[in-house]
């Protein structure tokens, strides 16, 4: 039902009071103290307004593209929309991080403006970290706006695109729920709310297919004239002849000013990593061509803390081989150490790295140069091709989805590999560096499920990371950025003079040798994947492969509790891998925990390549149906960690089957029970 003005005003007053009390002023027009602002962590940014209406007025914008992004894709799509809006339709666009604005005055945005929302759904249908406050605000039943009218957002025009993964139950729930909430508040959606599906591997194409009709609808609604798109830089890049890479004010990959000046202080977070020592590292696999790393990361020199079940984010460095390729193909290799100053051409644009810096540092530390390339970006670069032939090829790749798929996607080319494939020996010297900054994502930290217990080792974080290496026909293997960097760090720790996994080479001592002595930049992300607070509750854990990571932490914790005389409940772990002799993670360690936990602990293994039949964890789970069901009836917690695409789904199906068979109820009823276990947090997933 729609609320009338009086309701809104009354609810607004009530809600405002409650929220102000509960959040101690983190909502509404309460001025934030610098210490709580997300920017303060970076240490070098001036305070700025959180009022989006004011911001747009000040900077003469009529289109804001908000993003809720976890891994950078939504942020990238947001900047692409902003660029396209400007170059094709003359919109005055800006990109905005949802975390940096308040939303209580969205009602006064004005109907000559448009707000775009590019929203990723994270994990179990959750908002991304930077969208949590926005999401709570906009979906609150009685979200209230400063000048409540009926309906409060009647003036707001919006478009929306969601990034999701159909293997998760709450597919694209962010964009769906936000669209619903905005419409309920009276906002007018322009075009369909788009949905991109990472699970089907069609995200980019879904985005491209969504945006054309959206632009058409928007142009009609706002009376925009389409014009010939020309590249319009967002940044200026000036080569500084008065500075060299030795100049103390030049960033060589340091993430922010504090790091440059040598005294990086906390709080350490997603804007400010801690350069942590790796105190120990070892190989967990017993097989030549695959690696899985166990590392101990020491956080005792920082104020970082963690709880069992949290995630640690590792900030990677690009491999030298790909940095060189990128600089070579763009014609920058001879001047890789040239100092450049990068500035935004207008006040709402943000340079995604600190400046002054060098070409080398930007490419090595700040650009996601190894990732898949977007078709749209190749189309943009056609204008800067070295030859007419290359230009025609780039245009074809940009326009022809199937051709692009065959030539680029199927071969997993990154940007420099794609440019090499199109241009041959020719260098692409005409591409403005600003276009590369704008067109490529910024490097994203990668998350790892912490594989230690904070009760056992409070200041030391373990990780268990399998090194990504995908064999592809007709080209070198595709190498994961972060895990191969970590592999090089392990090699260095083991005394290899020039660690060089697979010829990748890394600037392993970091900018100005600040990571020497084997350090890696990290921060901790708190998660909801947690043991029951009462250790006597039974738990069932399904963790094949590196999915076992958090469960090593859980079991370490329970073993310590048992040793301390606490009553620990039944603890079942299902682990799976290929062969007992090759990739059985922590195989000798489990015995220790068995000693401490006695018959409370059972490890149930599934080896898929040891026998005639492929046996996976879900098969073992079915074999243990009776005990699993009994434990669940005693309110055991059920955890799944690891592969989201197949395993987590299979396990879910197995659990429904067990529930139906053991309780003698229909499948539909069992499905409902499993669903309600999820909503009650009795069934938790940590999948990727």
When asked if residue 125 is in the footprint of ligand FAD (CB under 6 A), the reply is no
Q: Closest distance between ligand FAD and the C-beta of residue 658, in Å?
A: 26
CA–CA separation, 573 and 325 (whole Å):
45
- Distance between CA atoms of 504 and 130, rounded to whole angstroms? 33
How many angstroms separate the CA atoms of 278 and 281, rounded?
7
Q: Of 191 and 547, which has the nearer Cβ to ligand FAD?
A: 547
Instruction: Mark residues 11-50: x for contact with ligand FAD by CB under 6 A, - for none.
Output: ----------------------------------------
Of 462-481, binders to ligand FAD (CB under 6 A) are 464-466, 468, 470, 478, 480-481
Of residues 291 through 320, those in contact with ligand FAD by CB under 6 A are 311, 316
Specify the residue, 113 or 294, whose C-beta has the smaller distance to ligand FAD.
294
Active site residue 449: yes
Q: Is 653 in the site for ligand FAD (CB under 6 A)?
A: no
Asked whether the beta carbons of 168 and 176 are under 8 A apart, the reply is no
Q: What Cα–Cα distance (Å) separates residue 434 from each residue in 231, 340, 362, 587?
A: 10, 11, 12, 50
CA within 13 Å, CB half, 601: 23
Cis preceding-peptide flag for 28 (omega within 30 of 0): no
Q: Which of these segments, 85-93, 382-390, 458-466, 558-566, binds ligand FAD (CB under 6 A)?
A: 458-466
Q: Which run of H or of E encompasses 419?
A: helix 415-423
Does 448 contact ligand FAD by CB under 6 A?
Answer: yes
- Name which of 370 and 435 has its Cβ closer to ligand FAD: 370
Options 414, 452, 453, 571; binder of ligand FAD; rule CB under 6 A: 414
* Shortest separation between residue 274's beta carbon and ligand FAD, angstroms: 18
Strand order in the sheet with 235-239: 235-239, 339-344, 357-358
64, 370, 648, 655: residue in contact with ligand FAD (rule CB under 6 A): 370
Distance CA 91, CA 81 (A): 11
Cβ(318)–Cβ(363) below 8 Å: yes
Q: Cβ contacts of residue 125 below 8 Å, gap of 6+? A: 168, 169, 170, 173, 174
CA-CA distance, 525 to 681, in Å (whole number)?
Answer: 19
| By the rule CB under 6 A, 199 interacts with ligand FAD | no
In sequence order, the β-bridge partners of residue 641 are 686
Place of tokens 């699970």: 199
Name the CA radius of gyration of the chain, rounded.
Answer: 26
Determine which one of 102, 206, 310, 686 is catalytic. Answer: 686
* By the rule CB under 6 A, 447 interacts with ligand FAD: yes
What is the nearest approach in angstroms of ligand FAD to the Cβ of residue 446? 4
- Least spacing, CB of residue 186 vs ligand FAD, in Å: 36
Distances (CA, A) of 436 to 326, 394, 682: 11, 16, 46
Among 43, 125, 372, 532, binds ligand FAD (CB under 6 A): 372
Min dist CB 14 to ligand FAD, Å, is 37
Q: 174 or 234: whose CB is closer to ligand FAD?
A: 174
Binding residues for FMN: 69-74, 120-123, 163-172, 198
Gap between the Cα atoms of 122 and 340, Å rounded: 36
Q: In the 8-state DSSP scheme, what is residue 292? A: E
Task: CB nearer to ligand FAD: give 215 or 515.
Answer: 515
546 binds ligand FAD (CB under 6 A): yes
Pick 535 or 544: Cβ nearer ligand FAD: 544
Inter-residue long-range contacts of 130-136, CB under 8 Å, 24+ positions, other chains counted: 130/67, 130/68, 130/69, 130/70, 130/97, 130/98, 130/99, 131/68, 131/98, 131/99, 131/174, 133/26, 133/27, 133/98, 133/99, 134/66, 134/68, 134/98, 134/99, 134/103, 135/68, 135/174, 135/177, 135/178
Looking at beta carbons only, is 27 or 529 nearer to ligand FAD? 529
Least Å from the CB of residue 338 to ligand FAD: 27
Q: Closest CB to ligand FAD belongs to which residue?
A: 480
The CA distance from 569 to 581, in Å, is 30
For the CB of residue 453, give the shortest distance to ligand FAD in the complex, in Å.
15
Among this protein's residues, is 688 annotated catalytic? yes
Minimum Å distance from CB 411 to ligand FAD? 8
State yes or no: residue 412 binds ligand FAD (CB under 6 A): yes
Tell me which stretch binds ligand FAD (CB under 6 A): 18-26, 423-431, 459-467, 663-671: 459-467
Q: Show the site string, 246-285: x = touches ligand FAD by CB under 6 A, - = not.
A: ----------------------------------------
Nearer to ligand FAD, 53 or 370 (CB): 370
Catalytic one among 210, 215, 428, 688?
A: 688
Classified as helix, coil or strand, 442 is strand
Helix (H, G, I), strand (E, B) or coil at 23: helix
When binding is defined by CB under 6 A, the residue of 172, 317, 483, 571 that contacts ligand FAD is: 483
375 makes contact with ligand FAD (CB under 6 A): no
Q: Six-digit token pair at 648?
A: 């987590």
Does residue 62 belong to the site contacting ligand FAD (CB under 6 A)?
no
Answer for which of 15, 131, 371, 419 binds ligand FAD (CB under 6 A) is 371
By beta-carbon proximity to ligand FAD, the closer residue of 414 and 618 is: 414
CA nearest to 119, candidates 82, 51, 70, 168: 70
Among 113, 446, 519, 558, binds ligand FAD (CB under 6 A): 446
CB-based burial label for 249 (10 Å; 0-12, 13-18, 19+): exposed
Residues of this chain, 314-353, that bind ligand FAD according to CB under 6 A: 316
According to the binding rule CB under 6 A, does residue 688 interact with ligand FAD? Answer: yes
467, 483 contact by CB (below 8 A) = yes
Size of the site for ligand FAD (CB under 6 A): 24
Cβ closest to ligand FAD, residue 355 vs residue 527: 527
User: Which of 281, 449, 453, 527 is the catalytic position?
Assistant: 449
Which residue carries 């373990």 as its tokens? 462
Decide if residue 600 touches ligand FAD (CB under 6 A): no
Residues designated as active site: 449, 641, 686, 688
Binding site for ligand FAD (CB under 6 A): 311, 316, 370-372, 412, 414, 446-449, 464-466, 468, 470, 478, 480-483, 546, 549, 688
């Amino acid at each position: 039902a729609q609320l009338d003005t009086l309701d809104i005003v009354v609810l607004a007053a009530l809600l405002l009071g409650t929220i102000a009390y509960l959040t101690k002023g983190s909502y509404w027009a309460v001025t934030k103290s610098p210490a709580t602002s997300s920017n303060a962590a970076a240490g070098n940014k001036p305070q700025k307004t959180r009022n989006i209406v004011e911001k747009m007025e000040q900077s003469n914008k009529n289109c804001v593209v908000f993003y809720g992004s976890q891994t950078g894709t939504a942020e990238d799509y947001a900047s692409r929309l902003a660029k396209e809006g400007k170059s094709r339709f003359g919109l005055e666009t800006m990109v905005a991080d949802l975390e940096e604005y308040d939303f209580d005055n969205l009602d006064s945005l004005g109907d000559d403006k448009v707000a775009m929302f590019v929203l990723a759904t994270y994990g179990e249908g959750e908002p991304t970290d930077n969208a949590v406050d926005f999401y709570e605000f906009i979906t609150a039943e009685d979200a209230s706006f400063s000048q409540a009218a009926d309906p409060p957002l009647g003036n707001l025009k919006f478009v929306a695109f969601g990034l999701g993964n159909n293997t998760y139950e709450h597919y694209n729930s962010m964009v769906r729920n936000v669209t619903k909430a905005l419409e309920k508040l009276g906002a007018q959606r322009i075009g369909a709310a788009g949905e991109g599906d990472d699970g089907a591997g069609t995200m980019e194409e879904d985005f491209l297919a969504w945006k054309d009709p959206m632009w058409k609808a928007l142009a009609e609604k706002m009376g925009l004239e389409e014009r010939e798109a020309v590249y319009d830089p967002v940044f200026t890049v000036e080569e500084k002849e008065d500075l060299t890479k030795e100049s103390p004010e030049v960033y060589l990959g340091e993430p922010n000013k504090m790091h440059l000046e040598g005294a990086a202080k906390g709080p350490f977070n997603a804007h400010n990593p801690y350069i942590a020592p790796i105190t120990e590292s070892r190989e967990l696999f017993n097989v030549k061509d695959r690696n899985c790393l166990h590392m101990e990361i020491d956080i005792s020199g920082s104020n970082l803390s963690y709880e069992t079940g949290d995630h640690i984010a590792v900030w990677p460095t690009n491999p030298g081989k790909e940095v060189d390729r990128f600089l070579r193909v763009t014609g920058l290799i001879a001047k890789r150490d040239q100092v450049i100053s990068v500035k935004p051409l207008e006040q709402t644009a943000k340079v995604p790295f600190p400046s002054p810096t060098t070409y080398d540092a930007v490419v090595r530390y700040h650009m996601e140069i190894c990732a898949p390339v977007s078709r749209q970006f190749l189309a943009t670069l056609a204008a800067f091709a070295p030859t007419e032939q290359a230009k025609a090829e780039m245009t074809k790749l940009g326009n022809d989805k199937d051709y692009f798929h065959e030539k680029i996607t199927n071969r997993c080319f990154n940007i420099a590999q794609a440019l090499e494939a199109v241009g041959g020996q020719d260098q692409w010297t005409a591409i403005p560096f600003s276009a590369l900054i704008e067109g490529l994502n910024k490097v994203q930290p990668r998350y790892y499920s912490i594989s230690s217990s904070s009760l056992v080792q409070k200041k030391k974080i373990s990780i268990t990371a399998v090194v990504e290496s995908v064999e592809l026909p007709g080209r070198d293997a595709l190498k994961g950025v972060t895990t191969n960097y970590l592999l090089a760090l392990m090699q260095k720790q083991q005394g290899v003079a020039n660690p060089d996994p697979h010829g990748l080479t890394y600037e392993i001592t970091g900018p100005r040798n600040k990571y020497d002595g084997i350090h890696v930049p990290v921060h901790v992300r708190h998660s909801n994947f947690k043991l029951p607070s009462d250790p006597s509750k039974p738990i069932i854990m399904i963790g094949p492969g590196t999915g076992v990571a958090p469960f090593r932490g859980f079991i370490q914790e329970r073993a310590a509790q048992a040793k301390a005389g606490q009553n620990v409940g039944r603890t079942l772990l299902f682990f799976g891998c290929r062969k007992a002799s090759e990739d059985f993670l922590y195989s000798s360690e489990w015995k220790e925990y068995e000693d401490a936990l006695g018959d409370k602990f059972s490890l149930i293994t599934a080896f898929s390549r040891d026998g005639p039949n492929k046996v996976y964890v879900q098969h073992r789970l079915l074999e243990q149906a009776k005990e699993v069901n009994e434990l669940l009836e005693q309110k055991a917690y059920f955890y799944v960690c690891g592969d989201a695409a197949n395993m987590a789904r299979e396990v879910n199906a197995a659990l429904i089957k067990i529930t139906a068979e053991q309780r003698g109820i229909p499948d539909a009823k069992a499905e409902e029970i499993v669903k309600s276990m999820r909503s009650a947090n009795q069934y938790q997933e940590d999948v990727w």
